[in-house]
């Protein structure tokens, strides 16, 4: 259980949150929502102990294990799977202790490490790390690649996998779907629904939130309010609360006006003075319900293209790929005016390769790309935000595209994209990821394209900006090809879907729910062998077992033969010793010759010594067999 008591938080001189009184119960999957800058990430920093409360108290469970996604990934030479495995610190330490003990030939150390690994159920840890990597889109052949060899977006995925690997009672995820494609988002959604601890998640993906969370915390105007249910339930409840608040405000204003009118009319009349006084007291007691302030929604648009040709672009019998590697074969893909196509497909199937081939950035290995002379492409790539010129302002970026345009026209245009006033002259170095993405889209819009090719444009965009983008694309007069992990955006914008899978590009007859079902069935089919394959695997395992047993028996044969001889000799010695013991127990032996008594005593001593030697050898052989 996490409790906030009169909790307040500042960043610099700015008060982000104040007078928060909330209790979060164990086992909740809580979505933390609110506009950019409202304090969501700062709240997470406070939970992690990185920020101190400016007032009030934050009570955390004393022994709760916390996991979160690291912001930076060092350029390590370690294999990706080892980096992810390191998320479980105790298992990683036990496995390292085992490896070090083996290197030092320390059998006691090896035994202790084995015992610790068994305590932690750590022998399947590497397999679990591999499943996390696979679910987040890492092909099997990349699991042993060095962390340093991955790009920034893939390193973010590695940090996410490492956080999921860590045993935790409290899991904090800040925008976990950024840099993921739709398949990885669907996988993560399933994984988080099975998570047994308390989950706090910041996300601007409303479909993802709807699929994961059980409660919602809304941060607004420095306050926090809890709602039961997912994001859609929160929207309905908040809309109703705002409606009731406005109704109460209107009623109060009407009553206030009525009371004030009575006071104004009769306060000077002695006969009505008492009644006027009563109404003045009533006025003072009115609650003062605040009117609902409509948040100013941000809107932008892509200008209508000057011309939209009927047949815009086509790929005919195209093989697309890199070098000698064919990623997509025999692609036939055409774009007509008004097309709104969403590209779907598993991780690494070639969606970005197809988009690059459509743009012309990737030359076909074979086949033909044909574009109408009037086709004007606006291309948003996954690296577009990172390619903004460091140190340059929005207006400098726009001047690079339009050096002859007047500064006022550039400022007016940037103002429609919420870069008004001095903001147009600020360096992008201080911009958030969402502001950079908005600028990149503005630069595309300036060219008045008639074909938009958008590859994951929603990374870093908040919910309001995503809604604005969906509205702008819905009103766009040209054609659109969209790759996105945001199912809400895909559903609002796209009229048809094409699936990119197994080197093939084909029309997909279904919606996003159908695609999710197809993806699950595909993964299940890949993960579960057929009955014949399973039977063959079982037969092979049984054969290996019998061969191993035969080899073990062959190795044991000389030991068992020797044991048999020792046991036979020990049996004979037991008989001889019993005979000698019987003779020595007879009183008559002591009345006869001393030589016979001495002989029997010597035999008894020698046979006892031989038996002790044989017993020691027998024990040593048995230990070898057990080993």
Domain C-terminal end among 137, 162, 187: 162
The stretch 203-210 carries a mean pLDDT of 90
- Please state the rounded mean pLDDT for residues 580-585: 77
Could you tell me if 108 and 41 are in contact, meaning their C-beta atoms sit under 8 angstroms apart? Answer: no
Based on the domain organization, do 511 and 593 belong to the same domain? no
Question: Is the model's pLDDT at 295 over the cut of 90?
Answer: no
- Could you tell me if 385 and 506 lie in one domain? yes
Condensed to tens digits (0 to 9), the pLDDT of residues 17-71 reads 888 999 999 999 999 998 777 888 889 988 988 888 889 989 988 888 999 998 8
> What pLDDT is attached to residue 534?
47
Q: Is the dihedral of CA 472, 474, 475, 481 positive or negative?
A: positive
* 226: phi then psi, degrees, rounded to nearest 5: -95, 140
- The pLDDT value recorded for residue 50 is 87
In this predicted structure, what is the pLDDT of residue 366? 93
Using the predicted structure, report yes or no on whether residue 260 has a pLDDT greater than 80.
Answer: no
CATH code, domain with 384 = 3.40.50.300
Which CATH number belongs to the domain containing residue 568 in this structure?
Answer: 1.10.287
Of 285 and 337, the one with more pLDDT: 337
Is there a domain that residue 66 lies in?
A: no
Domain boundary among 162, 190, 219: 162
pLDDT in tens, 111-136: 888 888 888 877 788 888 999 999 99
Q: Work out the pLDDT band at 16, boundaries 50, 70, 90.
A: confident
434 and 488 assigned to the same domain: yes
Do 560 and 499 share a structural domain?
A: no
If asked whether residues 377 and 491 sit together in one domain, one would say yes
On whether both 521 and 556 belong to a single domain, the answer is no
Q: How far is CA 585 from CA 224, 577, 588, 603, in A?
A: 98, 12, 9, 15
| Tokens describing residue 516 | 């999710």
435 shares a domain with 348: yes
Tell me the percentage of the chain whose pLDDT exceeds 90.
35
Q: Are 161 and 129 in contact (CB under 8 A)?
A: yes
**Residue 138: is it exposed, middle or buried by C-beta count within 10 angstroms (0-12/13-18/19+)?**
buried
| Residues counted in the chain | 627
Residue 202 lies in a domain: no
Q: Which of 394-403, 424-433, 586-595 is least confident?
A: 586-595
Could you list the beta-strand ranges (E) of 456-552. Answer: 479-483, 496-501, 504-508
Domain count, the chain: 4
* 47 assigned to some structural domain: no
The range of the structural domain enclosing residue 126 comes to: 80-162
Query: Both 382 and 518 in a single domain?
Result: yes
- Would the pLDDT of 294 be above 50? no
- What is the average per-residue pLDDT within 256-270? 69
448, 327: one domain: yes
Residues 358 and 502 in one domain: yes
What are 480's strand-pairing partners?
A: 340, 452
385 & 523 share domain? yes
User: Within a domain: residue 119?
Assistant: yes
- The C-alpha atoms of residue 403 and residue 389 are separated, in whole angstroms, by 16
Q: Are 321 and 365 in contact (CB under 8 A)?
A: yes
The answer to the question of residue 413 being in a domain is no
Q: Is the pLDDT of residue 542 over 70?
A: no
Tokens of 285: 């007691």
pLDDT 10s digits, 494-534 = 999 999 998 999 999 888 888 888 888 877 666 554 444 44
**Residue 537: is its pLDDT beyond 50?**
no
Helix axes 152-165, 125-135, angle to 10 degrees: 140
What pTM, to 2 d.p., does this model score?
Answer: 0.69
Is 266 among the domain residues? yes
Inside any domain, residue 116: yes
The pLDDT mean for the chain works out to: 84
Rounded-to-integer distance, Cα 143 and Cα 85, Å: 11
3-class secondary structure, 521: helix
Domain-embedded: residue 614: yes
Average pLDDT rounded to a whole number, residues 4-11: 88
Mean pLDDT over residues 587-604, rounded? 76
d(CA 408, CA 413): 9
- Here the tokens at position 267 are 């306060």
Dist CA 184 CA 249 (whole Å): 46
Q: Are residues 574 and 440 in the same domain?
A: no
Query: Residue 336: which pLDDT band, with cuts at 50, 70 and 90?
Result: very high
């Amino acid at each position: 259980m996490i409790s906030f008591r009169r909790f307040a938080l500042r960043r610099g001189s700015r008060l982000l949150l104040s007078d928060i009184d909330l209790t979060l119960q164990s086992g909740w999957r809580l979505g933390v929502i609110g506009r950019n800058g409202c304090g969501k990430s700062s709240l997470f920093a406070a939970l992690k102990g990185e920020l101190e409360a400016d007032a009030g108290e934050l009570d955390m469970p004393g022994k709760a294990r916390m996991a979160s996604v690291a912001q930076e990934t060092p350029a390590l030479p370690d294999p990706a799977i080892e980096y992810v495995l390191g998320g479980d610190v105790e298992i990683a330490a036990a496995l390292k202790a085992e490896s070090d003990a083996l290197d030092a030939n320390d059998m006691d150390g090896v035994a202790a490490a084995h015992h610790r690994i068994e305590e932690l159920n750590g022998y399947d840890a590497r397999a679990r790390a591999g499943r996390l990597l696979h679910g987040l889109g890492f092909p099997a052949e990349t699991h042993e690649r060095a962390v340093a060899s991955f790009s920034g977006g893939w390193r973010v995925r590695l940090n996410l996998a490492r956080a999921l690997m860590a045993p935790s009672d409290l899991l904090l995820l800040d925008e976990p779907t950024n840099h993921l494609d739709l398949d990885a988002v669907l996988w993560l959604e399933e994984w988080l629904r099975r998570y047994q601890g308390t989950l706090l998640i910041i996300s601007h993906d409303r479909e993802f939130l709807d699929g994961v969370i059980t409660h919602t915390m809304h941060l607004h105007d420095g306050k926090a309010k809890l709602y039961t249910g997912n994001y859609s339930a929160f929207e309905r409840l908040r809309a109703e609360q705002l409606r009731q608040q406005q109704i109460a405000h209107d009623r109060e204003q009407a009553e206030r006006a009525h009371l004030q009118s009575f006071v104004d009319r009769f306060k000077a009349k002695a006969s009505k003075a008492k009644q006027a006084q009563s109404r003045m007291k009533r006025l003072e007691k009115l609650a003062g319900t605040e009117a609902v302030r409509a948040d100013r929604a941000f809107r932008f648009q892509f200008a209508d293209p000057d011309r939209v040709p009927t047949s815009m672009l086509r790929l005919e019998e195209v093989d697309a790929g890199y070098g000698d590697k064919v990623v997509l074969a025999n692609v036939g893909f055409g774009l007509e005016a008004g097309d709104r196509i969403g590209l779907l497909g598993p991780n690494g199937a070639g969606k970005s390769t197809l988009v690059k081939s459509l743009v012309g950035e990737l030359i076909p290995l074979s086949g033909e790309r044909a574009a109408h002379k009037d086709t004007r492409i606006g291309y948003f790539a996954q690296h577009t935000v990172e390619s903004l010129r460091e140190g340059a302002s929005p207006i400098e970026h726009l001047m690079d595209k339009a050096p002859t345009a007047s500064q006022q026209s550039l400022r007016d245009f940037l103002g429609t994209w919420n870069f008004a006033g001095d903001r147009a002259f600020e360096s992008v170095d201080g911009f958030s990821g969402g502001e950079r993405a908005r600028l990149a889209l503005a630069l595309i819009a300036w060219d008045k394209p008639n074909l938009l090719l958008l590859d994951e444009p929603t990374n870093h965009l908040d919910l309001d900006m995503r809604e604005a983008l969906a509205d702008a694309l819905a009103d766009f007069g040209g054609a659109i090809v969209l790759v996105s992990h945001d199912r809400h955006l895909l559903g609002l914008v796209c009229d048809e879907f094409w699936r990119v899978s197994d080197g093939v590009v084909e029309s997909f007859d279904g919606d996003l729910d159908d695609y999710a079902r197809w993806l699950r069935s595909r993964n299940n089919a890949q993960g579960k062998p057929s009955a014949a394959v399973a039977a063959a695997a079982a037969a092979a395992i049984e054969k290996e077992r019998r061969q191993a047993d035969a080899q073990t028996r062959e190795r044991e044969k000389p030991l068992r033969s020797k044991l048999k001889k020792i046991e036979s000799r020990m049996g004979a010695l037991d008989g001889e010793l019993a005979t000698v013991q019987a003779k020595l127990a007879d009183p008559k032996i002591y009345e006869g010759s001393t030589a016979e008594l001495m002989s029997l005593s010597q035999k008894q001593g020698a046979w006892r010594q031989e038996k002790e030697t044989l017993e020691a050898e027998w024990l040593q052989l048995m230990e070898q067999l057990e080993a």
